[in-house]
Structure 1
């Protein structure tokens, strides 16, 4: 009888607090931070089972290995959620009458965005703590912009559609991480490394170049709604994608240069 009472209390706690709509942003952020730590610890234990060379890696390589496991899982989750919310759900559909497209949100969109904030905070913390081993200043700038933009859209429920359009670009992250894994495992001359490089090129072109062009076109079409956003949100809609677009072009040039170099050597 006592156990059943505790179970009922636990269910009420989850229903009325942890999963209640006003608390979803905070529970998703905190929950994701703890999940990132859990995934990091699991990776340390599991990785040696399927990669025999793990024991020969340096300490910083082992840390980065686990860090990229978390990065890959987050990228798959948020890119799937972003694609669904932007292109397949009716949340941001122009056919939906009523409120402005820039102020639309749902418990699902808040939850997914909270998970992303939790991830970027966790990853930013690791990058700064181990700076510059896990990435230089461009990664710090990228993550700071991501945290500010995503957190603002989540907490103020402004411009979520454009935040999700930018988050779709995370679909390129698994390819980037796989490239690092193959290189670290000594498979830089393998066919898998070449195929991954070609896939990265096309994924980056679509998700980080062409998609950003579509984002700016969408902002142009809905400018009358966008300009009604608070001033800070208005600046984020134009500023963050513009800065990230420039960074994406710079990284794309490096990808193209690396792919050309790889193809030349093989030829």
Structure 2
């Protein structure tokens, strides 16, 4: 019945309906294309953020445990000196800010509420960001207490009241300096642990292929930076064990060949 009535419609109306159909299909296809383009743009932006985020987090994961270990070692030395009533060259310790690079973390946090950064990842990054700020504060305290060191003139006698006052102030500043250093060691460890946990989420979002690509790129950067090869091997063994057998040697050879070709081309 409907088909018969449709054929009874005038040619003018048929062409009008056909034009409307073409317009509808065109608008719908344009909408689909725009939606696809926006989705692809969002996907590219998410991948770019995750790759940069991974590189930044790997710096914390691989470097901070060593920093913390060194700080713990110095604390043993300083505690011993303080107990003996002696001082060390703590006044030489200075931390010039910005000490660490966490711009990508802050950029990613600003993407909260979008499809790029989930709430769970935002929450973890916020906690990490807070620990980094606390670490900076501990280092600021160390710098401040170090600058409070008083130079004791050699002309002052051992029993001179002024000398005793200056030495007492130095011991107190040293005591507080050690307390700030102890905070620093703890925050370094906190940041490294949080970074490692967040990296598990980032690696999962990136996928195994892209994760491997970024990690190989990091190893190449370590080599190009001129770090001792044995030191890099230690990092690989501890933090990238999947590349310890053979892969690192291949990466090392590739970088050396690239640098050799670049050197030859400039001669």
Is TM more than 0.5 here? no
Larger Rg: 2
Q: TM-score, normalised by structure 2?
A: 0.31
> Relative CO higher for 1 or 2, CA cutoff 8 Å, sep ≥ 6?
2
Q: TM-score, normalised by structure 1?
A: 0.31
